[in-house]
Every structure is written in C-alpha cells, then in structure tokens.
Amino acid sequence: MPANAFPLGAEYFRVLPEIVLTLVGVLIMFLEAVFDEDQKKIFGPLTIVGLAAALGAAIAAGGDPGPAFHGMMVVDGFATFFRVLVIVVGLFAVFSSIEYLQREKMNGGEYYALILFSIVGQSVMVTANELIMVFIGLEISSIASYVLAGYLRDDPRNNESALKYFLLGSFATAFLLYGVAWIYGLTGSTNLSLIRQALSSGSAPELALTGTAAVLIFVGFGFKLSAAPFQIWAPDVYQGAPAPVSAFLSVGPKAASFAILARVFMTAFAPLASRWQPVIWVVALATMIVGNFAALKQTNIKRMLAYSSIAHAGYVLVAVAANSEIGSAALMFYMAAYALTNLGAFAVVTHVARKGEKYVLIEDMAGLSQRQPAMAAMLTIFLLSLIGVPLTGGFFGKFYIFKAALDSHLIWLTVLGLLNSAVAAFYYLRILVVMYMKEPVESAEANVSAGAALQFAVYAAAIGTLILGIFPGWVLDFATRGALK
Amino acid sequence: MTLLDAVLFLPLLGFIALLIAPASVSRMAALAISLGIFVVSLGLIGTVTDAPGVYSFVSNSQWIDVPSIKYHVGLDGLSLWLVILTTLLTPIAVLVSWKYIDQRVKLFYAFLILLEFGVIGVFVSLDLFLFYVFWEVSLVPMYFLIGIWGHERRIYAAVKFFLYTMAGSVLMLAAIIYLYSQTGTFDYVAILQKLTTGQVALTAQAQMLLFLAFFLSFAIKVPLFPLHTWLPDAHVEAPTAGSIMLASVMLKMGTYGLVRFCLPLFPETAHKAAPCVVALAVIGIVYGALVALVQPNMKKLVAYSSVSHLGFVVLGIFSFTQQGLDGAVYQMLNHGVSTGALFMLVGYLYERQHSLEISAYGGVATPAPNLAVVFLITTLASIGLPVLNGFVGEYLVLQGASQANFTWAVFAALGVILSACYMLWLYQRTFYGRASHSVSHHITDLNSREWAAALPLVLLMFWMGIYSQSFMPAISTQNALILQRVNGSAAAALQAPVVKEVANAR
C-alpha cells in the first residue's frame, strides 16, 4: 500500500464544506424521525446554521488552495467563488422556504436535508477536477432536486414537475456518462488536465471521436443549463415545483453546471476550442431567442421566470463562447448577479402566491404597489436588474459578458444578444405595468405582510443587487482573481 | 466636491427624502427641493460663461477599477444652458402638477425629481459609460410617470417609449464597449484626444458602424423621422408634467448626444452621412408640420410640431456651419421653453374642460383673457416671430443651412410657414369665436400658482428673443471648437487621401 493512500489533513480541510453540509443533512434526517411537529420548527434555523458554517468553511478553504484526494478535486479561486455562491443560494432558498412550508403544512425535515444534499452535489461539481467527480456531483445534486421539485406530494402539479424533471434529467445524465466513457476510452484518463495533455499532444485521437465525446458531454450539461434545444423541461418544472424550489433550481444547479461546463471546456477541451466555440455561439443565440420570445406570451409568472432563466442561460453561454479569462470572470459575476436577482424575484412571487400558490398569474400582481409598496419596490429592483438597467447587478453582468464577447471578436453575437435583451425588456415591463398601473384586486389575502425570514431574503437580495450594480468591483475582483486562465 | 456634483446629486438625495417623507408634505417638499436645486444651479453660470471652451467644475475620480470607469463630469458652454433648463423646468413641472396629480402624489414627485437626476447626469457626463448609465436611468422614472399618471392608453405609450429607447440604447452600449476595446478607456476626453491625434485609428467601416450605433440611439430620442412614432403616443398619454419634461428636456438628450458625441468622435462619417441625415430632417420638418396641421387633438398637434422643430435642430447640426450649429443649440433651448410652455397651457385647458380635442373649445379668450395672452405669446414664440426666442434659432439654422445647401433651406423655410399655419389655426379655433356654454361655464382664468409657473417661461421667451447675447457666446465658443474638429479633420482627410487609404487598410 503506498504511503500516500490516505489523504493529508489539509485535503480534508479543503472538502470541509461538503463534510459539514452532509453531516447537518444527515442529522436533520435523524431528528426528523424523533421530533414531533412542534420541535420540527428548529429545522429551518438549524439548516441556516449549517449553511453558515459551510460558508465559513468554504471561505477558509479558499485561503488554502490546492488539489485534494489525488487530484480528484481542486480548490482554486474559481471553485471557491462558486462554492460560496451555491451556499449563499441555499441560504436564500431556506430563508424564503420557512414561511412557505408552514403555510403549506409541509414543514418536514427532509426538505431541508434535500436542499443541503443538493448543495453538496453542486459543491462537489464546482470543485471537481475530473469527469467522474463531475458525474457524481451532478447526480447528488440532481437526485435531490428531482425530489424537491415534487415535494408537495399531494399536489398533481408537483408530481408532474418531478416526473418530467426526473425522466428528462436522467436521460441527459446518461449522455454525460456516455461522453465520459468515450473520453476515457480515447485518452485513457478522466482527469481534466490529463485529458487536455492527451488532446493537445501530437498523438491526439481522431477529431471526429473526441468531437463526438465533447458533444455528448455538452448535451448532458446543456440539459442542466436549459440551453436550447434542451430547454423543454424548464417551464413545466419551474411552474409545477413549489415556488422556493423553483427559485433554488433556477440558480443553484445552474450556477454549478455553468461552472463545470466552463471548467471542462476551457481546460480539458481547450485544444478543441476552435471547434466547440462556433457550436456554443449557435446554442447561445438560440437559447436567448427561444427564452425571450417564448416569455413574451406567458401569463403565469413562474413560467415567465422560467423562460427568462432560459434566456439568461443564453447570455451566460455568450461568456463561455468568448472562451477567455475575461469571459470566465464575466460568467462568474453574471451568475452571482443573476442568482441574487432571481432569488429575490422568486421570493416576492412566493410571498404573493399565498397558500396553495393561488396567485401566480401576472394579473394577480395588480396594484401590488398600493397594497404592499415595499414588496413592489423590491420586485421593481429585481425586474430592472433582469432587464439590465444600469445601477443594478444585472446590468454589469450583461456589460461584462458582452464586453468579453467583443474582446473575443464576437461582434454579431454581441449585437444580437443586446437586441435580445431589448426584447426581454417587454415581458419584464409587463409585470411592472400590472404592479404599478393597474388597480388592485380586492382580496382578503391581498394585504398579508411577509414573515421576517422572507422579508430578510427579499431585502438582502435587493441590497445585494444594488451593491453589485453600484460597486461591482467588490465582486468582480474575486471573479477576476479566480477566473480560469 | 464641486458645485456641479451638488447639482447632480441633490436630486438623488431629494428623491430619497421624498420617498421617506410623509405623503402630506410631498408637494411642498418637491417644490422646495427643486427650487433649491435651481438656485444652486444658477451658481454654475458665471464660471462657465467666463471660460465656455473648457470644462469647468470637473470631477474625475475612479468609480470602477476594471474596466476603468470614471465618475468624470464637467460643464462647458454646450451643456450649461441645458442643465439650467432642466433645473428650471423641474420646479415648473412640480407647480403644474399641484392640482392635476391627486393620486399617489408622493411617488409622482419622487419620480419627477429622480428624472431630474438622470437628465442632469446625461448632460454633464464626460465618461461614455457614465453617460450610458444616466441615459438609461432617466428612462425609468419617465416610464412610470407616463404609465401611472397618464391618460387612457398610457400603458401602451409607456411601454412603447421604453422599448424604443431601449432598443436604440443597447446598440449605443455595443458601440461604447467597442470604442473601449479599441482605445482602452471610456473617458470621452481621452478617447477624443486619441482619435484626434491619430493615436488610435478606426477603419472607415468601423467608424461608419459606430456612428450608426450612436446615431440610431440619438435619432430615436430626438426623434428623427421615421423613428418618431413613439413621441405622439408618449406625449398625448403623459400627464402635463411628463409632457413638459419629455418635450423640453428629454428630447434634447438626443440632439445633445449628436452634437457632443456623434460629430466630434466620427467627423468624417458625419460628413458622409450628412446628406441622408439632412434629408430625414427636412422630411421630418415638413411631414411633422403637415401632420400637425390636421390633428384634432391639441397635445398630438404640439407633439408633431416637436417633430418638425427638432428636424430644424438636426438640420442645423448637420449643416456643419457655425450659424447652423449655434442656431441648432439655441433652438434646443427655445424648443424647451416654448414647447414646455405650450404643453403646460394645454394642460391648464385640460384641467378645466377635461378634453384635449380642439373641437371642445372655442372662445376661450372671453372667460380667460390672461390665459389667452400667455398662449398667444407662446404660439408666436413657437412660430418664430421676431423679438421672441424662436426667431433667433430658426433664423440661424436657416442661414447655416443655406450656406451649406440652399435647397435645404428652402424646404426648411416651408416648415416655418406651415408652423404658422397650424399654430395660428389652433389658436383661432381654441380662443376665438363665441364661447359655448360648456366653455364659459368651465373655463376660468389663470390663478396665481398657474401664473407663477407660466411667467418665468414667458419672460425667458422675450429675453432669449431680444438679448440672445446673454446665452449665445458660451454656446458659440464651444460650437466653434466642435466645428474645428469636425470640419478640420474632414478637410484634412480630403486633402490627404493617401493617408486615409493607409488608415483604412489597417
């Protein structure tokens, strides 16, 4: 047995966030069995504590970068940025879930445990340095997500959502795994750096074969990112799933998938860049167009936000297509800005929807500015950020992405992408119109004010969105330092 | 912290204060804030008119490190009067809305003051990125002003307004980023210097595309025919204060952009594009006037007259002559004063009779002689009667245009004649004749608040018409510098075609 069969202490430290999250998740599963209804109220705060501890661990681990477990994982600036991001996403999701679960009388521990496990999976994905770890992370994250999407098990919409997500998701994962197998067969390795070496060496395998493998892997990721033409599932899943879960699904797994997509394609497949760049160019444009134009017609706000999240995936793919250090920093910044914005928007939707998600049509927002001026003002900030109006995080995200694209001479993609964002303004404005320019509907539940946790989530997201819009340097600094070279 | 920073950021503070303050004091607070800003802004005049050719009150500090974006603002002879116009019209818009706005008062005044912030920012930014930020920021409050407090089709108009401007401005953003990638800075002064000294040479094709991107975004805002269709909708549906701010100040953002950025940054392309642009401007002048002639709705009439008047401004700008450019900038101010006043007076009539149809009026002069007099002065100012402000601008534009191309001037002069037709006809149908029962019943004369809002504008019409020397030297000096750059480099390009070929080949 070789001397270094067991990892060093420092390497455990580098995976401490995953360890913490797993332990808290398992603890909650145990307590679930022994606690009565009243005691279960502790699960929400307990999850928050666990996430906060993991956040601290992730930041601390970021201070000591390096590989772990024989190079299976790597903690670098890029990984740390996304680790922190997915954990923060988890925090927001939990803050906006507590009130929701009580309202729906489904305050079970497994919900929080599943959220934690999903984050573990995402965290593994973003730190993975080889394809098997990517697959494992993706599966951990996905399986927890499938269950979360159907968490309200008596609700047929939830069932539909979970089933669709599961069937299409596992199908796509199969593609990924098949691609990984091809790559292993072609290069004899699943390690990203070794694959890169193999592909750039003189005896590189046949391009047709490596290309096929890359395409298979891209299909697997494309599904998770809801990139066209693999976006079909997203509207149904986001519409059917519980609102806080939709919020979580639209940012958490997506951020992790983008991180690993960028890492795999910009490191392992870097030698093939001239081949995959045009493909991503086309996919990015198609994704933006499909998302934006389909969103124009939606009446259900969750469904609209689903199409909007497809469109935003298109913008982020522009950053991947740029294939540069600036592009990767732009991707990181954009995901952070988009995560805060979208979580905030979904939190307001969660609040307005009330029990059983009765009010999820755009029309139901009528007169919100008069019934609940603060909530309406916050949603306005989120929507302006989604449109990309200056002084919000969404604007700088778009700005950095399209700047990266121009620097990589993707002039037409930039112009078409920017015009797309003008189209997008229309459907976001529709919500503003309804909130501010239509008379309120009379309803007994219309004036219920939000609980403290949800309010905290909304305000924190709004402040974060504005800070990213006014002082983007604070986050961009981290992104630039962690960007993939 | 310069005085200009104070003028720029006081509205932002005012916006926040208005949001915090209880709704019962919103009106008074908005008036006090906007008047205060106006008084402070008067302090800017002396310094700038002493040295109109350079930027005064410059603040230049780093806002964002990577990419380097600066908070770089300054004021010169070109932007000075536009800033003063903005700070003057905001309290007037507050006064005009005193009774008219009775719902969600607090939000209304907050947005009005936020609009002032955005517009002043546009006029003082010397960093292209900052300019773009303010350009978009000014969009949001106007969208709400139209959409919440407008007339029946307000939502359609507000969304149309937002989308038109947005579509244009994203192209400008692409152009700004491209300029950055070529020059390594967003700083307008630095970019201009690099382009002038030849440190950075853009290919002719790149220049043309960049010019088009900027131009399209400004032309939508101006609005230049055939991109004007959002304007009548927005004007008709906006509340009075919204119409005033839109016509007087926000349209000037477009023409200001043309003078400040399009001409100096891309002089050769501007010369190349001039025939097409002027053709559109002249079509706009005549078309706007003809359409105004047949409007049954007062606000729509004034809106189309704006299309016509702004055509004059664009014609003056693209004549590339000192007189033409001076006239264009002066006409920007004139249009701000007289069209602002027209929208205000139409608003007064609407508050009394609750109709914008001209046919609902007639004989208004009998119950409201003072209103009739003020309206007449404004009408004559808008037509361009000597002694009033419109004459100075129109004359200079026509002279400049005739120096460049006599045919242009002929067509433009046609617009002057038509403007007399539609304005006087409007006046005749509204104020003369026998007062119907409903008119004599509802129409009352100006009250003291309405006088307070109207009087400054009327005085300005006379002042600007009789003693344009108070305003013109500052404008002229800056225009001369711009023209030097525009004509100078174009002439150099003509004289040295070989050099140009080399630049293109790169």
Note down pLDDT in tens along chain B; length 506 residues: 788 888 889 999 999 888 888 888 888 888 999 999 999 998 888 888 888 888 888 888 888 877 888 889 988 888 899 999 999 999 999 988 888 888 888 888 999 999 999 999 999 999 999 999 999 888 889 988 888 888 888 888 888 888 888 888 888 988 998 888 888 888 898 888 888 888 888 888 888 889 999 999 999 988 888 888 888 888 888 888 889 998 889 999 999 999 999 888 888 888 888 889 999 999 999 999 999 999 898 889 999 999 999 998 999 999 888 888 999 999 999 999 999 999 999 998 888 888 888 888 888 888 888 888 999 999 999 988 888 888 888 889 989 888 888 888 888 888 888 988 999 998 988 888 887 887 778 888 888 888 888 999 999 999 988 888 888 888 888 888 888 888 876 555 544 443 333 334 33
Residue B462's domain spans which residues? 272-474
What span, in angstroms and rounded, lies between the C-alpha atoms of A263 and A217? 12
- Tell me if A354 is assigned to some domain: yes
Closest among B344, B336, B347, B372 to B464, alpha carbons compared? B336
The residues, ordered by sequence, that sit 6+ positions from A90 with a Cβ below 8 Å of its Cβ are A51, A115, A116, A118, A119, A248, A252
In this predicted structure, what is the pLDDT of residue B366?
83
Q: Residue B479 has which token pair?
A: 């225009």
Amino acid at B225: F
In this predicted structure, what is the pLDDT of residue A465?
93
CB-CB contact of B163 with A426 (8 Å): yes
The answer to whether the CB atoms of A422 and B167 lie below 8 A apart is yes
- Tell me if B117 is assigned to some domain: no
What DSSP string runs through A244-304?
HHHHHHHHHHHHHHHHHHHHIIIIITGGGHHHHHHHHHHHHHHHHHHHHHHHTT--BHHHH
Q: How many other CB atoms are there within 10 angstroms of residue B302's CB atom?
A: 26
Q: What is the distance in angstroms between the Cα of B142 and the nearest Cα belonging to chain A?
A: 13
388-427 in chain A: CB under 8 A from chain B: 389-391, 395, 399, 402-403, 406-407, 411, 414-415, 418-419, 421-422, 425-426
A-chain residues within 8 Å CB-CB of B170?
418-419, 421-422
Angle, helices B26-42 vs B105-124, to 10°: value is 20
Query: DSSP label at B497?
Result: H
Note the residue count of chain B. 506
In this predicted structure, what is the pLDDT of residue B435?
79
In this predicted structure, what is the pLDDT of residue A287?
94
Cα B125–Cα B172–Cα A304 angle in degrees, nearest 5: 110
CA B359 to chain centre: 30
CB-CB contact of B331 with B312 (8 Å): yes
What DSSP string runs through B454-487?
HHHHHHHHHHHHH-GGGTHHHHHHHHHHHHHHHH
- Tell me if B278 is assigned to some domain: yes
Closest among B210, B32, B5 to B128, alpha carbons compared? B210
| Burial call B132-142: b when 16+ CB within 10 Å, e when fewer | bbbbbbbbbbb
CA B68 to chain centre: 30
Angle, helices A207-225 vs A156-187, to 10°: value is 160
Phi, psi of B71 (to 5 degrees): -85, 90
Q: Is B239 helix (H, G, I), strand (E, B) or coil?
A: coil
Residues of chain A with pLDDT under 70: 1-5, 442-447
Burial class (CB in 10 A: 0-12, 13-18, 19+), A154: exposed
In this predicted structure, what is the pLDDT of residue A444?
56
- Tell me if A36 is assigned to some domain: yes
| Closest Cβ–Cβ partner in B147, B162, B163 for A437 | B147
Burial class (CB in 10 A: 0-12, 13-18, 19+), B426: buried
- Tell me if B154 is assigned to some domain: no
- Tell me if A236 is assigned to some domain: yes
CB-CB contact of B158 with B146 (8 Å): yes
What span, in angstroms and rounded, lies between the C-alpha atoms of A345 and A251? 12
The answer to whether the CB atoms of A389 and B66 lie below 8 A apart is no
- Tell me if B419 is assigned to some domain: yes
What span, in angstroms and rounded, lies between the C-alpha atoms of B74 and B125? 7
Helix (H) or strand (E) holding A472: none
Q: Residue A211 has which token pair?
A: 């290309």
- Tell me if A3 is assigned to some domain: no
Closest among A295, A118, A297 to A224, alpha carbons compared? A118
Phi, psi of A74 (to 5 degrees): -140, 130
Count Cβ–Cβ pairs < 8 Å, chain A vs chain B: 81
pLDDT, chain A, mean = 89
| Closest Cβ–Cβ partner in A390, A430, A473 for B132 | A390
Residue A46's domain spans which residues? 9-482
Interface contact A344, partner B, CB < 8 A: no
Alpha carbon distances (Å) from A111 to A120, A179, B423: 14, 32, 70
Q: How many other CB atoms are there within 10 angstroms of residue A443's CB atom?
A: 13
| Closest Cβ–Cβ partner in A389, A406, A418 for B136 | A389
- Tell me if A337 is assigned to some domain: yes
- The residues that bridge with A300 in the sheet, in sequence order, are A361
What span, in angstroms and rounded, lies between the C-alpha atoms of B433 and B430? 8
CB-CB contact of A121 with A141 (8 Å): yes
The residues, ordered by sequence, that sit 6+ positions from B44 with a Cβ below 8 Å of its Cβ are B3, B4, B7, B56, B57, B75, B80, B83, B84
- Tell me if A376 is assigned to some domain: yes
What span, in angstroms and rounded, lies between the C-alpha atoms of A319 and A340? 19
The answer to whether the CB atoms of B159 and A426 lie below 8 A apart is yes
Q: Domain count of chain A? A: 1
What span, in angstroms and rounded, lies between the C-alpha atoms of B15 and B106? 10
- Tell me if A295 is assigned to some domain: yes
- Tell me if B414 is assigned to some domain: yes
CB-CB contact of B293 with B418 (8 Å): yes
The two most distant CA atoms of chain B are separated, in Å, by 76
In this predicted structure, what is the pLDDT of residue B390?
86
Q: How many other CB atoms are there within 10 angstroms of residue A108's CB atom?
A: 16
The answer to whether the CB atoms of A403 and B174 lie below 8 A apart is no
Q: Domain count of chain B? A: 1
User: A66-68 and A73-75 as β-strands: parallel, antiparallel, unpaired?
Assistant: antiparallel
- Tell me if B416 is assigned to some domain: yes
What span, in angstroms and rounded, lies between the C-alpha atoms of A19 and A116? 11
In this predicted structure, what is the pLDDT of residue B218?
92
In this predicted structure, what is the pLDDT of residue B498?
39
If you measure CA to CA, which chain B residue comes closest to A477? B66
Q: Residue A47 has which token pair?
A: 């999850």
Q: What is the distance in angstroms between the Cα of B9 and the nearest Cα belonging to chain A?
A: 15
- Tell me if B175 is assigned to some domain: no
What span, in angstroms and rounded, lies between the C-alpha atoms of A458 and B111? 23
Q: Residue A277 has which token pair?
A: 């760049």
The two most distant CA atoms of chain A are separated, in Å, by 75
Q: Residue B22 has which token pair?
A: 């209880």
Which residues from B are below 8 Å from A when comparing CB atoms? Answer: 64-67, 104, 107, 132-134, 136-137, 139-140, 143-144, 147-148, 154-155, 158-159, 162-163, 166-167, 170-171, 173-174, 177-178, 180-181
Note the residue count of chain A. 485
What span, in angstroms and rounded, lies between the C-alpha atoms of B17 and B34? 12
In this predicted structure, what is the pLDDT of residue B147?
85
- Tell me if B432 is assigned to some domain: yes
In this predicted structure, what is the pLDDT of residue A360?
83
In this predicted structure, what is the pLDDT of residue A1?
46
Q: What is the distance in angstroms between the Cα of B501 and the nearest Cα belonging to chain A?
A: 24
User: A66-68 and B69-75 as β-strands: parallel, antiparallel, unpaired?
Assistant: unpaired
Amino acid at A275: R
